[in-house]
Structure 1
Amino acid sequence: MLSETTGPRVGPDGNGSRYARFGRKEWAELRASTPLVLGEEDLAVLQGINENVSLGEVEEVYLPLSRLLNLHVGATQKLHGTTAAFLGRPGPSAPYVIGIAGSVAVGKSTTARILQALLSYWPDHPKVDLVTTDGFLYPNRVLEERGLMDRKGFPESYDLKRLVRFVSDVKAGVPVVAAPVYSHLSYDVIPGEAQVVSSPDVLILEGLNVLQTSDGRGGKGPQTFVSDLFDFSIYVDAYEEDIERWYVERFMMLRRTVFDQKGSYFKRYAELSDEEARRVAADIWARINGPNLRENIATTRERARLVLEKGEDHSVRSVVLRKL
């Protein structure tokens, strides 16, 4: 099902298939009466660099998805209540955990922020926290010691035990859990800074490798992977040639903005000519992001419960839902 280039190809649809595939119009009908609670100004804050998500896409793609997730959260909460009643140990239900995976530059962060905004409007689960796995990367000092700076974003560059422990604690109902914070300006974990997560109704965890079942080291991996703790998982998908183009376009925009800021790790790229900058971006993709996508990220696509398939204009064209 994988072609020569990675892209939206998750299972056939039809009788007996594990998947149900929906065109955008067909998927939009599943919105039912779910109200649109976001406006243009809200959306402008939520979307990433060189993305242009329209309110139409929110209505047709993300509102039906928020409705589906709301139904799943409600059913899971009832199941937890049933188990607590059986055990005779009433208590707060565990947070519902959603994992969102996908390549660099594919738009998974925007998807995560839009879903966080939409889900927080549902009365059954108003407290929705969003955590990215970037903070669980090893600090640059450690990556340099291990010769992994050019493998940043690969499975072995993450502190997977710490990540699993964080999600386990949140899911177990620990009242206050701290996640490390990453700076894209300094390209490193910020020492002593933490994002505090305090008993959310829903936790969204977004990152490149959240659906992985390998630590990237070739040996025996951890007994538990973070994906084991997910209640629902989403993969944001597109053809590799489109993702590479989006990555280069984003690099060019960052070069004129973030890269030129004081303290930027990538400040050396700010003075490059357009031709030089495109060459550098293409080289980074060829050496790091492309191989990571093909070897580690795209291989987890069929583990997701739902796949958002994007077209060349960055908009979601179809949705694939795993039924079993």
Structure 2
Amino acid sequence: MESLVLAGNAFSGPISSICDLLNVNNALLPLHLSENALSGSLPNCWTYGQNMVFLDVGLNMSSGQILDSIGHLVHLKVLTLADNNFHGRIPGCINNFLVIAEKEADRSSRYYDYASYTKDELPKLMWLDSQRRDELFNRYEQPFRMVDLSSNYLFGEIPGRVAELGGLVYLNLSNNQLTGTIPSDIGAIRSLEALNLSKNQLSHAIPTSMSNLSFLAYLNLSYNKLSGKIPSRNQFLTFDAATHLGNHDLCGPLLANTCWEDKSYENKNCRDKKLGGNKKIIEEVERHGFEIPPFYISMGIGFLAGFWGFWGPLLLNTSWRHAYFRLWVA
């Protein structure tokens, strides 16, 4: 047996039962277990599944962490763990998917054409419109390289090593609790055509390297905490305002916030980093509010002392005022 498709049933029980399949038959290439009721944590037996090229356990009830051992699936082309209850951080060894990273020869003779599967399933996850979807899918004969970890409870930062997946076409990390920045060198994934990072808590600026994603046809960065100016080159010119919706500190031509020279719309942390040594001054001003420089304070004190020291008595004492007036008349 070289493939097993059990998707769209009502199978229940622990998802760790995958180990029984892998122990008996490590030649299993595609494994479809999506849309069932499988529960429990992902197994730790991926050393037996190094030949696997397609793993889909999306739309189940699985939980626990995604262990680093999943990196043993070095020939994996499609990984879908979406719509489960996984928590924890995204494994830092995500770059171990050597085929997706294009670090190993593609053993195409052992791969099957999954275009018919992905054409039906991916739109549910990536929300591509039909015309754009057909243009993308009709371009390929080989299986798509895809990582989908959306709609879980993953937190922490996106591993910078994701940028090493040079052959990745689809990346969906939406609807999690991811924080930190978008990896600065994500533009190195030149083959990327669909990227969904929406509904997280990502902050700081959109990396300028994303302008290098010349094949990017679908982008969703909405409902994060991104700030700064939206890149205005290459593919970014083709996206509408909905791509960046819900990021109140972003500015650009398509948004209500215009990027003025005197208003950076930057995240506070970015501003502190850029000003370096002035961070302490900024904190003092923000804590105490507007402060009057000492020079102007001394001027005010001098004026008050001079005024009330001489003119004050003349205004308050009538006899002194008359005497001063007669002195000037004489």
Give the TM-score taking structure 1 as reference length.
Answer: 0.23
CA radius of gyration, larger in: 2
- Greater relative contact order: 1 or 2 (C-alpha under 8 angstroms, separation 6 or more)? 1
More helix by share: 1
Give the TM-score taking structure 2 as reference length.
Answer: 0.23
